Structure 1
């Protein structure tokens, strides 16, 4: 067993570049630790399906808190900001003193006519605000000086009102006054707290109660998103509190199934010239993907596979790595260029006292990700996705095709397990007279690739990402 633990650690170091914390690192840290510690597989979600005796969740008084959460101005933001933005805390457990932090941006015009979106980053344990809002799909990005912001012309609040939720407690500005909460965190508690957050958020922003609502996320949000959606559906049926008008979910480069049952990771390595023929053959000879069992010979070849990758950024295999993570005396950043050192600028900005005051956040040593002793996680979320599809909910999966953390091939293997009927066959979709990616529509599910994007699709291809998500929200075909 110790030999396996050593191999796991080495694979993690080789794959993830420990010097920079991001959700790719935390995702691989999780599923490597899973395999090394007899990770318990909860049957909570199956039991939840059978449960009938629901009781309403905690709802706190929200009078006056909407106005208190409105942001006057973020330090260093550009001029002519034409939309409202809010930030603050919502208590999800008053006894434990557990509260989740959110950042909310409305559309620039006619916000009452646009849907409501909840965005979730993965990890597990990484910030939807720091990464999702400040580096991907939010209205601003942080300049190299770590002090000023520039506008993201392809922000998703151009087409929806967007909530960025830092979840679970302990991530970013979210917190608990009961430190043992951090040792009891897992899929179940995260879904339940996020549901309680939403019910209370809608009390604080009652004008959105009847609005079409969508949940979108990436990476380990492949668990968060369908589990929260499923929790909403079952609570909508069985409680007398606010019915959340959930219409659909979408997940990008989503961790849907455990790596031990998905050969898609190693197919991707080999097909993109990252692994040798011998290593690829060894993995498919000795790894039992059908039953998810890991022999010593299998792990030896897995170790070799990750060793062969070399020092690359596995979130985008063709992107440069951050070699000099320091602030620079320059501004005027461009959304069309994703600086590999953006994490450095963003973390400095969010740790500025003036910024934290503007966000109505508690003084915090803000970090992008928090390590957890994750307590429960199913080996696959496909049964939950099937239940959502059966309910008639819109389900989209999308993949940046340059990601080796949760590669497009892993997602395709997962979809193929569902054995779905094809409604509209595989085709290219276009933007600005170039192929933006590919799309295939199944009965109950749509799968989209985004060409030239890695794990963080809205960072690498902001315009293509906006086109894709507009198609999802409005129910219109991607451009021919």
Structure 2
């Protein structure tokens, strides 16, 4: 599976990791998302015979590390050596292949394993994104504890932090916990939550949130602003669910409204409310 990856322009070690999935189905995230919408370099036509790359003032790698895989296989530079697989390609195959791609990618770039991770899909990618998230959620639940690799050095670390004098020096375990220090643990609660709602219209989201999901409306449908202009509208629900739209964004908002899209994305990553006034 071919991909483009762009580190964040500043402090990539501190920025989240985003995977961008394009739609179609069958359109390249490199050709669309990276080269036309949110990548740092956009392809521009100078003449009938000449194209060139220009810098994107509103690139999303200003605030995140962004990965663009070309999916499914046979799209762009992604390929399979077994043509018998091509008729089988569907949403589930795409999700499975993307998980395999991510596992291989994290193996090659292990420093990004600890980063916050976001899945974003455009157009038909709106199908890919939740199905990928659902597959990751299911596989995370099913991972057995024996899949964790404990090295010899890890045993030394565990022994070190179980020393009382070390704990006292670190001001740790001041309540004398009834169990020893361990490097890994399986908490009863899950850090991933599975929420499903059809995001068509605000009133449908409200019915779904208050019905099947059981969320309350925290902030009613209101405009949000960017540089003293109404950039879109937003609904906010409990447990971190937000529906935001971009005014005049069209089918590819990151292409037709680059500045507003980057503003929405930046506010999302910082977990802050979209501006409610023009000042």
For this structure pair, what is the TM-score category when the shorter chain's length is used for normalisation?
0.7 to 0.9
Partner SS state of residue 418, structure 1: helix
Q: Which residue of 2 aligns with 1:233?
A: 137
Give the whole-Å Cα distance in 2 for the aligned partners of 1:474 and 1:195: 26
| Change in 2 beyond 3 A, CA 1:115/1:397 | farther
Tell me how far 1:392 sits from its aligned partner.
3.6
**Conserved 8 A contact 2:197-2:208:** no
Report 1 or 2 for greater relative contact order, CA contacts < 8 Å, sequence distance ≥ 6: 1
Counterparts in 2 of 1:394 and 1:102: CA distance versus 1, 3 Å: farther
Give the Cα separation in 1 of the matches to 2:74 and 2:264. Answer: 32
Instruction: State the partner residue of 1:184.
Output: 88
Aligned residues: 224
- Residues 1:423 and 2:218 are matched in the alignment: yes
1:466 aligns with 2:262: yes
- Residue in 2 aligned with 1:367? none
| Matched position secondary structure for 1:173 | coil
What are the superposed Cα offsets for residues 154-203 of structure 1, whole Å, 9 maximum, x if unpaired? 10000000000111101111001111211000111111110111111000
**C-alpha displacement of 1:462:** 0.5
- 1:450 has 2:240 as partner: no
Deviation of the 1:412 alpha carbon: 4.0
Match in the other structure for 1:123: 24
**Contact 2:22 2:122 survives alignment (8 Å):** yes
Corresponding position of 1:314: none
What displacement does 1:395 show? 8.9
- Equivalent residues of 1:396, 1:472 under 8 A apart: no
- Shift of residue 207 of structure 1? 0.3
Distance 2:194 2:62 in 1: 24
> For residues 96-134 of structure 1, what are the alpha-carbon distances to aligned partners after superposition, in whole Å with 9 as ceiling and x for unaligned?
xxxx11100011121101000000001111111100001
Output the CA distance in 1 between the equivalents of 2:253 and 2:205: 20
| Cα deviations by residue, 1:33-61 (Å, 9 ceiling, x for unpaired) | xxxxxxxxxxxxxxxxxxxxxxxxxxxxx
1:180–1:188 Cα change, 3 Å: same
Q: Normalising by the residue count of structure 2, what TM-score does the alignment of the two structures yield?
A: 0.75
Tell me by how many angstroms 1:235 deviates. 1.1
Map residues 210-289 of structure 1 onto 2, 5 A cutoff.
210-239=114-143
SS of corresponding position for 2:26: coil
Displacement after TM superposition at 1:239 (Å): 2.5
Q: 1:106 to 1:473 in 2, by over 3 A?
A: same
- Confirm or deny: 8 A CA contact 1:397 1:448 kept in the other structure: no
Partner of 1:437: 232
- Call closer, same or farther: CA 1:115–1:394 in 2, change over 3 Å: farther
Question: 1-side partners of 2:249 and 2:22: how far apart?
Answer: 16
Secondary structure in structure 1 of the residue aligned to 2:222: strand
Q: 1:169 matched to which residue of 2?
A: 73
Secondary structure at the aligned position of 2:76 is classed as coil
Question: TM-score, normalised on structure 1?
Answer: 0.44
Corresponding residue to 1:112 among 2, 13, 18: 13
What pairs with 1:124-139 in structure 2 (closer than 5 Å)? Answer: 124-139=25-40
What is the rounded CA distance, in whole Å, between the counterparts of 2:58 and 2:198 in structure 1?
A: 20
* Unaligned segments of structure 1, at least 5 residues: 1-99, 243-389, 399-409
| 1:346-385 → structure 2 map (5 Å cutoff) | none
Cα 1:463–1:168 shift into 2, 3 Å: same
Q: Which has the higher mean CA deviation after the structures are superposed, 146-155 or 104-113?
A: 146-155
- Give the aligned CA root-mean-square deviation in angstroms: 2.4
* Matches for 1:1-400 after TM superposition, within 5 Å: 100-145=1-46, 146-239=50-143, 391-392=192-193
2:140 is paired with a residue whose SS is helix
Contact 2:197 2:205 in 1 (8 A): no
* Shift in CA distance, 427/174, structure 1 to aligned 2, threshold 3 Å: same
Q: 1:233 to 1:127 in 2, by over 3 A?
A: same
**Shift of the alpha carbon at 1:418?**
1.5
